[in-house]
Amino acid sequence: MRKKSAVRKNCSYNILKQLVEREQFLWNVNTYIEDAEKAGHDECKKAMEELRENALEDAETLKEIVEKRAKQGEL
């Protein structure tokens, strides 16, 4: 069984990793949307726009968790 501190560190790592992944996607998604629009792929464009909105919401949630954990000294 893992110790509590190891689990906390693993949780912090997982949260930060997911935040980075969302931010990386958000960095690129506008290009994906532009490409779909140029190619006339409305369905793809719409899907990417929905994914962008979800990623923005996810990133905001993850940032809130990171801030909370940082204030509690758990990062």
How confident is the model over 9-51, as pLDDT tens digits?
A: 788 899 999 999 999 999 999 999 999 999 999 999 999 999 9
Quick one: pLDDT band at residue 8, thresholds 50, 70, 90? low
**Separation CA 75–CA 69 (nearest Å):** 6
- Asked if pLDDT for residue 64 goes beyond 80, the answer is yes
Q: What pLDDT does residue 39 have?
A: 98
Which two structure tokens, joined as six digits, stand for 1?
């069984």
Residue 1 included in any domain: no
Residue 64 included in any domain: yes
**Separation CA 11–CA 75 (nearest Å):** 9
Residue 45 included in any domain: yes
- Domain count within the chain: 1
Which two structure tokens, joined as six digits, stand for 20?
């980075």
Q: Is 3 helix (H, G, I), strand (E, B) or coil?
A: coil
Residue 56 included in any domain: yes
Residue 15 included in any domain: no
Residue 13 included in any domain: no
Residue 12 included in any domain: no
Q: What pLDDT does residue 74 have?
A: 81
